[in-house]
Amino acid sequence: MIDILNDEYYMQLALELARKAQGQTGINPVVGCVVVKDGRIIGVGTHLKRGTGHAEVHALKMAGDEAEGATVYVTLEPCSHHGKTPPCCERIIEAKASRVVVATEDPNPQVAGRGIKRLREAGIDVTVGLLGDKSNAMNEKFNKYITTRLPFVTLKTASTLDGKIASRTGDSRWVTGAAAREQVHTLRHQHEAIMVGIETVLADDPQLTTRAAVDAIDPVRIIVDSKLRLPLAARVVTDRSARTLVLATEGADESKRTDLEQAGVEVIACGAGPHVDLKLAMLKLGELEIGSILLEGGGRLNGAMLAAGLIDKVILYYAAKIIGGSDAPGTFTFDGFAKMADAIQLTDVHVELAGADICVTGYPQYGEQ
């Protein structure tokens, strides 16, 4: 007899294992696995890094011979194809597990139900859908990239209550408090790339690395710089701890491009117009297997990305401050809409405190682009 309460308990454990690996798996999903037999946990596993063993492999290795007749709880459908590692469904079959509980099917076209089908063909009882919404939310970046080959873009901004990201003099240190800034470093760790505009680099000379409380892989740095104004002395150029990509136009200065490339920067031409073609840029970044981007742009880049329908998620930090200034830069700078009814609506909105600051998370809904 299936015990739903126990099933949820063990799947929650598997989801927690997966959550702890966020930011470590690159374009791969985060996956957790728990193996249970006679009411005892005999194996646990997490996918820790692309190209290494999947969660099921680690958990079954821990379980050993006891895995025969056990129930395997896994947050994503076991793979059925040979990629960088062997198929996990075959490993489960070899272990002679009697039941597998899967949170959600894998949207990867190479899997897409095939792993579940293979397990059932082998006589294993398979239950699908338990806490699937939580698994899908955790893998929202992977789910978009694997089905579209486009990066999932999360916009992060910090502004005052009146929507200013800096004062009229350009001062922006600090809009929000320490708790919000610490969360931002965690966000950087959870994305494969950070994207800013050239104005941000010229104004602040940021390093754009992760300063998390744990050892972290620094994300790729992406600078939108149509005319290649990036100084060779900028820290994103001189600091080699992370890869730096510059998005420019085809007409950008060729000698400056050569200088940047000799300094270790990768320059990518995105369109022949006066400004970077952002939609083309997303295609090219996807081809480079960059599956997720944290956008930390100024108002113009934020506005251009939003107007192009390229932002998938927004995380907006608001400090309990009002600074004013008609010339002070705002969160979004673009032509906007003539009618309030046409405004971009956020769905699945969540509001919480980050220290003394307010954090609003939501998903933009776009009309026809």
pLDDT by residue for the chain (369 residues), tens only, comes to 456 569 999 999 999 999 999 888 888 999 999 999 999 999 999 998 887 788 999 999 999 999 999 999 999 999 887 666 678 999 999 999 999 999 999 999 888 899 999 999 999 999 999 999 999 999 999 999 999 999 999 999 999 999 999 999 988 888 999 999 999 988 998 999 999 999 999 988 998 887 654 455 679 999 999 999 999 999 999 998 899 999 999 999 999 999 999 999 999 999 999 999 999 999 999 999 999 999 999 999 999 999 999 999 999 999 999 999 999 999 999 999 999 999 999 999 999 999 999 999 999 999 765
Alpha-carbon distance of 176 to 323, in angstroms, equals 13
Alpha-carbon distance of 288 to 124, in angstroms, equals 38
Structure tokens, 259:
């200088």
Q: Is 304 annotated as a binding residue?
A: yes
Q: Is 172 annotated as a binding residue?
A: yes
Catalytic-residue membership of 250: no
Q: Is 211 annotated as a binding residue?
A: yes
Q: Is 130 annotated as a binding residue?
A: no
Main-chain phi, psi angles of 89, to 5 degrees: -65, -35
Q: Is 114 annotated as a binding residue?
A: no
Q: Is 6 annotated as a binding residue?
A: no
Q: Is 280 annotated as a binding residue?
A: no
Residue labelled with tokens 């190479």: 110
Reported for 14-17, long-range contacts at CB under 8 A and 24+ positions apart, including other chains, are 14/55, 14/73, 14/74, 14/75, 14/103, 15/75, 15/103, 15/131, 15/134, 15/135, 15/138, 17/44, 17/45, 17/46, 17/55
Exposure of 184 in the CB half-sphere (CA atoms within 13 A): 21
Q: What is the predicted pLDDT for the residue at 82?
A: 65
Q: Is 205 annotated as a binding residue?
A: no
Alpha-carbon distance of 108 to 106, in angstroms, equals 5
**Spatial CA neighbour of 184 closest among 214, 219, 221, 157:** 157
b/e 102-129 (16+ beta carbons within 10 angstroms → b): bbbbbbbeebbebbbebbeeeebebbee
Q: Is 174 annotated as a binding residue?
A: yes
Neighbours of 75 (CB within 10 A): 33
Alpha-carbon distance of 14 to 44, in angstroms, equals 8
Give all domains of the chain, ordered by start, each with its CATH number: 7-142 (3.40.140.10), 151-365 (3.40.430.10)
Q: Do 42 and 63 meet the contact criterion of CB atoms below 8 Å apart? A: yes
User: Measured between alpha carbons, how far is residue 335 from residues 23, 220, 300, 303, 314 in Å?
Assistant: 35, 30, 10, 8, 19
Q: Do 160 and 323 meet the contact criterion of CB atoms below 8 Å apart? A: yes
Q: What is the predicted pLDDT for the residue at 1?
A: 45
218-233 per-position pLDDT tens digit: 799 999 999 999 999 9
3-state secondary structure of 343: coil
Alpha-carbon distance of 115 to 293, in angstroms, equals 29
Question: Considering 8, 16, 56, 199, which one is annotated as catalytic?
Answer: 56
Task: Please provide the distance, in angstroms rounded to a whole number, between the alpha carbons at the two ends of the chain.
Answer: 51
Structure tokens, 172:
């922006």
Q: What is the pTM of this model?
A: 0.92
b/e 158-192 (16+ beta carbons within 10 angstroms → b): bbbeebbbbbeeeebeebbbeebbebbeebbbbbb
Q: Which residues contact 9 (CB under 8 A, 6 or more apart)?
A: none
